[in-house]
Structure formats: structure tokens, C-alpha cells
A and B are shown apart, each in its own frame.
Chain A
Amino acid sequence: MDLTLKIWRQKSAKDKGHFETYKVKNISPDSSFLEMMDILNDQLIREGSDPVAIEKGCKNDGPVVFDNDCREGICGMCSLYINGRAHGPDDDITTCQLHMRKFKDGDTITIEPWRSAAMPVIKDLVVNRNALDQILQAGGYISVNTGGVPDANSIPIKRETAEESMDAAACVGCGACIAACKNGSAMLFVSARVSSLALLPQGKIEGARRAKAMVAKMDELGFGACTNTRACEMECPKGISVAHIARMNREFLKAKLKD
């Protein structure tokens, strides 16, 4: 496959940024999207190292910087807005699981970073998602130390409840929900954690405290409000349901009523 790529280039957080157009050739439909990006970067590096090309005045901005790690859809490191969709034109996957067979020979593909005030661009397609860690640090845990805990089977949990908790715990923390939201809201991300723990007897104990602390941190860090557009659910690579937002709202309200 031969493709035209329009890619967002931005030197640093302060740089304004712009689109550059590149061409790649002979891409196998069985290659992954990120393998296609590797091929582009290989091309850009070779061009940049070629003294003849440089003499002719050919200069490029070097390889495109993009986050990626496990390349099997679980670490949450890859991001990318592809043709206007978080993680591209396939459902229930992260960008690294997207394969080129989803595109056609001759296509033009637009590739941008996540865009959200609370996740500023660091360089090219890489954004700063530190705010997500900060929200979890504010309360996304059960306060137990290592050791001195009861036997695992001393806390029976209904199978359905454990499964629902697992549904929420499948969140990979990629930030697609925030990037997809017109308000830049982190409600799906935050509620997935709140809900996953609130469902379990171990997590219920400090449920109210947790919801309050995490919501307060989310607001403080400049994430937008939720207006129920459900774009987050649509783009979540793990299919996490907005029902968790409703559960978090209940937890939060309960906590506030007690104040």
C-alpha cells in the first residue's frame, strides 16, 4: 500500500506546531499502524543522514516522536488521533492494535496528538498525561499496607460483582476518553477506578473519601465537566461503560451529603 500521511509536528510544548505531509510506500496490509510509523521514521532518519540530500537543501525535522511500548494493547502508552478518531478507525482497540488492512491503498491519513488542556503536547505526538497519575495518587487505592491482611478467601464476593469490578479495572489509562470529549472531561477514567473499587467489599470502606479526593483533584487539574455526550464510551479501547460515571456520581453525592 502507498499512503500519504499528514502528521502534526511540534518541537516542544512552547512551539506552535504545524502539519507536515509525508509519503510512505509498500506498506503491508498485515503491518500494524505503528510499524507503518516505524517505516516512516526509518525513511526520515535515512534522509536526514544523507549528505547528498542535505546539500540539495533537503531538510526534515527528524523522526516523528510518538509514545508506544507494549504494542499489544495493554500498557496504555500509545495514543494518536487518527483521521479524527482516538486510536483510529477500528473499535475496541488501542492504536498499536490497529492494522493497515483497515486502510486502502492511496489513502491520506491525518495523525494528531491527544488534544486537551490538561494533557499538553510535549513533542510531536507525545502528550503529558501526568495529571492522570496525580488523580490516582489522590485516592485511587485501598489503604492497606503490605502484610497483615486476611486470607484471600475470607472475603467472599459475588461472581457478578467481581466481574463488573473487572470490567471497570480493564482501563489502561491511555487518555482516549479525555481526548474524545469536547469538554476534556476525565470522568470515565476517574469513575472506572472509583467504581471498580466501590463495588468490592474491601473498597467500600473508604469509598466516600476516595470519590471526594479524586473528584477534587480532577477539578483542580483543569479537566472539564461531563455533559453526557458519551463520546468517551465510544472511543474507549476497553469498552468501559458510562454506567461507572453514574456509580461515581452516587458515591460522590453520598459523600457530600455526609459533609
Chain B
Amino acid sequence: MVKMSEKLISKTPEGPLSEKWTEHKTHIRVVSPGNKRKLEIIVIGTGLGGASAAASLGELGYNVKVFCISDSPRRAHSIAAQGGINAAKNYPNDNDSVYRLFYDTIKGGDYRSREGNVYRLAEVSNLIIDQCVAQGVPFAREYGGLLDNRSFGGAQVSRTFYARGQTGQQLLLGAYAALNRQIHLGTVKCYTRHEMLDLVVIDGEAKGIIARNLITGEIERHGAHAVVIASGGYGNVFFLSTNAMNSNGSAAWQCYKKGAFFANPAFAQIHPTCIPVHGEQQSKLTLMSESLRNDGRIWVPKKKEDVDKLRAKNIKASQIPEEDRDYYLERRYPAFGNLVPRDVASRAAKERCDAGFGVNDTGLAVFLDFKTAIDRLGKHVIEERYGNLFQMYEKITDVNPYVEPMMIYPAIHYTMGGLWVDYNLQTTIPGLYAIGEANFSDHGGNRLGASALMQGLADGYFILPYTIGDFLASKIQVLKTDINHTAFDKAEEGVKAKIAKLFAVKGNEPVDHFHKRLGHIMWEYVGMARNEKGLQTAIKEIKALREDFWKNVYVPGESGEFNQEIEKALKVADFLELGELMALDALMRKESCGGHFREEMQTEDGETLRDDVNYMYVSAWEYTGEGKEPEKHKEPLKYEFIKLATRNYKD
């Protein structure tokens, strides 16, 4: 039995699963409208979580300040989510339910998430769809005028709502519109091109932030009664990922260094269907939506000689006859076929490529083929469903996917780990909340497709606006935070010193050079397959790289100007620490679960092998000071309502 750390009280309510959230809502405190006007909340980030939270909190009457690193809230990387959003509406009458969505999510996460949180997520999922439709999100519809659904990985029902291949964009535009309305009404003030560089803690509570105006370089102080982190994930540790260039882990990392625990940092998702790397000049990877696996079939040749001919460009994929193709997902997982969860599909692709069946000149690609679907449904149907994705693919690769299959390979896409939060989404620092991808709470060791949008909006629209009231109800007599407090002085000095230190190095390598090297280490040792020796090597190499960075980095220009290099340098300095914590967490977790695959722990046929006796817990890391080993805390996971099982997508 794993012992619970005293510092990690999840506050999950007692009682039957389906009544927990209702019971909890009934008993938490609320703030009266008159008092809400006196309270200030800072929200960091304007993706689905941040925008929906800021808008909803503004509607309730709080004074909200929202910070955005881009020139507009609409640029946040939620915009790039393609395939869809899950909800348990059961509109297709295929026997879906809140319980089934909950069950699929827990199972998909390989039994490493909290029952209470996940059930609540499934419970509010339906409200999200209602909300989005009311906002004017143009979801796909049937000819009868009602909403259409499609399937995603890890589910045997069709519960995914979508707007072509631009679902994230449409949902974000909905949340952004709600945010714009509050900005117009004056309840929310939006700071664009601003980046949070530190959290200010006074008497153990989060009271504000230090931010940098990215245009002027000015360092600013902002106070509040509570701070909400909605800054997304840290997938860009890997340099090459499907994350946007500006996505970073720095806001969450500063919170960690101020005392917030960081949970399950090793849990990163590798998405099976991304456009393969083209070469050394590559700056980022592009995802091809999981929705494509509804109609696309994944395969490699059965014969090595066909592989050789493909690599030498002597034949095209379409020339390989049906009987010589290995549809390996359909072969290995008959029940789910091409729609197995992401971690399973990614490992299966790696297995085939490692065995020498990779179909491009680097040997790191498999086919995603639409021929069967085009023959069955006609080209126009495929075009209607995925037109923009096919266009995107063709623009990047110069290959027409209606004629020749797409080439895909796994890439880093999402991080399940993040700031540890309790049932109220509060971190271990009172007054500091984390929502969306920035927290760790709902996806365990692997997130199912179309669930990130669901979680971001669930947290922002329907959970945080309730739970934050419980905390703020005790703050109604507390005056506005004094930004001249010594804690602000200290935090500001720290930020300025760090910036000055980066400029002072005056080495001879650009920031990107170090970021790329970090990416190589992470992908090699902390990527799709991990082992003890490799992880130890990673830790050693990251430490050495970090030293090299602080000796040899060159940051041009100065701080008091629009300077994208200092922005990057600050992010990479944090990634060089975060990467090490990821490796440490992965080293400690001597089991395989979800996307965390330890080669020492696998079944005979290469599937993940969990160790529920020793590792059925959330690892939460506490910062103990520079150069010191962080302290690990454990939150044991209890499964009262679900029977633990080995994940099975075969039958």
C-alpha cells in the first residue's frame, strides 16, 4: 500500500461516484455579487482553459486580468486542435453514457488518474456542447439539422463532435468571443504580448505575478486575490513537437519553483499520426488529426524488398498489391483496429520501423491510406470530411494523399503531467489554480483523442468558476494586493537578475542550438521507449548541456526592447531543468503505463506492463532549491468503482 504524502490531500468528496460533484457543489461556499466586484483574479493563458475561465469569471462579476503571450487571445495553441471534442450525449444511440466516457478515459489513461475527477469531467461534457452551440460554434450537422458525431481512438462509440478538421479553432473562437464580450463590458482586462516570468507568494498564498511586456521589455507587477495557470503543456522540451513555437512550460515551472508540486512529469503523449521529419532544418512537426483513423488504414509492406524499392523511389505505395500489405494495427488489435489509443498506435509504428519496415528514406514512416474509404464512399465524402487536412498535407509534402497514401510517424504532442491539483483544481499553493493541459489531473498515463478540448473547457466553464469561489469566499475582507510588498520586490529582482545573467554569458551559440540538443537527448532517452540506463544517461547529459548553456549561450540585443531571443532563452533555460525532472520521474517509475513505456516492463507481445502494487500513485515533485534533488511525494490512487484490468484492445 502506497503511503499518502501529508502534503497531498486530494479533497475528493466521499460518496457514490455519480453524486460526488453534485454533493461537493452543494457544500462549497459562494461569493455574493457585491463581494465578487471587490475580488481580483489573474488568468495566465488564453487557450480553451484560460479563455473560458476568464470569460466565465468575468460574467460572474470578478475583476479578471488575463495574460497572453501572443498578439491576440485567438492565437493560443488550442486553435490547432483538429479532430473534435468528446461528450457523452449518446445522440447516435450507440449506448454511450457518462459512465462509459468515464470508463474509457480511465482505461485509456492506463489506470493512473483519479476516479472522482474523471467522472466529473464526463459529467460536464454534455454541458460543453450545449454551451458551444449557444455561442454559435458551427459543428458538423446531419441533413436533418441535428449534430453529427464521429469516432476517436480508445472508444467503441461515436461521441466526438467536430467542425471539419478545425474543431479546436471553432471552440477557441467561441471562448474568445465570450472573452471579448467581457472585455467589452469591462470585467476582464486583457494583456496581450505579455509573458508571466514569476509567481509572487505572500504568506504562503499566491498573490500575483511578475510579467514582461514583450514589446517594450518592461517588467511589470500585477497583484490579485488568486492566480490561475492555464498556460498549456511542456511538449516543446523535445524541440520538435506538434506544439506551437511559443508554447512553453515556463509559467508552470516558476510555480513549481515557488512551491507548487509538479505531478507525473514523465507522462508525455506521443501522437501516432504526424508528418515525418524532413531533415535538420525542421523547426516543428505537423499533426494529422486522429480523426483520419476513422477512414484511413495504417500499413507497411510485408516484404523487405518492397521496402527497399519504396526507399529507392522505384515504386509507389499504390503499386504494392493488397496481399503484400501488413495492416498491423488491424492484425494486432482486431477489436479496435486502426482506432487503438495513441500510445498503442505509436509504439506499434515504432515496432514496425525498428524491424526495418519504415517506408521513407529515413526508415521512420508508415502509411496512412485512404484508398479503401475512397473506393467505398467516393472522393467527395473524404474531401468533405478531411479536405483541409489533405490540403495541409499536400502543401507540406508535395504529395497528393487522394492518390498516394500519407506518410506518418509518431511525434510529441501533449503532456499529461503538470501542476498537481486537488479536486478543486487548486495546487499545493493556496490561491494558485491550474487548469487544462497545465494541470495533471484527468488523463493518467495517456490522453484519449478529443479529450483535451473537453478538459480545457470543462475546467474553464464549469469547474473552476465554482471551486475558486470556495477559496475566495474567505477573502472578501482582504484588500487589494499591495504590489509594493517586499515579495514583489524580491520576485522582480530575481527576474531581472536572470535576464541580466543570460545577456552576460556572451557565448557563441544561439539559443536554438541548445534547444535542439536537448530535444535529441529527450527523444532518444525519454521518448517512446525508456530504460534505466538510458534515463540515467539522459540526466547526466541534460546536466552537462545545462552547464554548457550557461557558459556558451549568446543572446543578442538587450532586454528593454522587442527581443525574441531573450524570450526563447528564458524558455530554454526552464526546459533544461524540466527535461531533467521528466527523466527523473521516468527513471523512478519502474513500470510501463500508457505513454510511459519502460522496456524492462512489457508483456510477451510488447504491451505495457503496469505494477499496481508499487506504482499505483501520482508522483508529485517538490522543489527543494537550486542544484538539489527534488523531493518526491505520492498520492495513492484508489479505484472504488472501477475494476483494475490490463488494457485490452484486442477483443
Contact = CB atoms under 8 A, between A and B. Distances in A.
Interface of A: 12, 27-28, 30-32, 34-36, 38-39, 41-42, 45-46, 48-50, 62-63, 65, 67-77, 90, 92-93, 97, 99, 101, 122-123, 126, 128-130, 132-133, 136-147, 149-153, 155-159, 162-163, 165-166, 169-170, 172-173, 196-197, 200, 202-203
B73 to A, nearest CB: 8
Interface stretch (B164-172, B418-426, B589-597): B164-172
Contact of B392 (A62, A73, A172): A73
Given A50-B508, A133-B180, A166 B75 contact: no
A39 B516 CA distance: 13
Given A35-B283, A69-B75, 5 more contacts: A46-B510, A49-B508, A71-B284, A76-B74, A97-B396
B496 to A, nearest CB: 21
Closest 4 CB pairs of A and B: A156-B145, A141-B177, A149-B134, A49-B554
A122 B465 contact: no
A162 B130 CA distance: 16
Interface string B3-22: 00000000000000000000
Nearest to B91: A153
A75 B180 contact: no
A136 B465 CA distance: 24
B134 A31 contact: no
Interface stretch (B94-102, B274-282, B570-578): B274-282
Contacts of B140: 162
Nearest to B55: A146
Given A35-B282, A159-B143, A165-B138, A97 B395 contact: yes
A68 B283 CA distance: 12
Contact of B136 (A70, A163, A196): A196
B463 to A, nearest CB: 11
B251 to A, nearest CB: 16
Given A69-B246, A146-B178, A30 B278 contact: yes
Contacts of B129: 152
B25 interface: no
Interface in B207-246: 215, 244-246
A146 B177 contact: no
Interface of B: 52, 55-56, 59, 70-77, 79-80, 89, 91, 127, 129-136, 138-147, 163-164, 166, 168-170, 173, 176-178, 180-181, 183-184, 190, 192, 215, 244-246, 278-279, 281-284, 286-287, 391-392, 395-396, 398, 461-462, 465, 506-508, 510, 512, 554, 556-557, 561-562, 564-565
Contacts of A68: 245
A46 B136 CA distance: 49
Contact of A203 (B136, B144, B282, B512): B136
A139 B185 CA distance: 11
A30 B564 contact: no
Contacts of A152: 89, 129-130, 132-133, 139, 147
Contact of A28 (B55, B141, B180, B278): B278
Nearest to B391: A92
A240 B73 CA distance: 22
B461 A77 contact: no
A55 B132 CA distance: 60
A66 to B, nearest CB: 8
Contacts of A46: 508, 510, 554
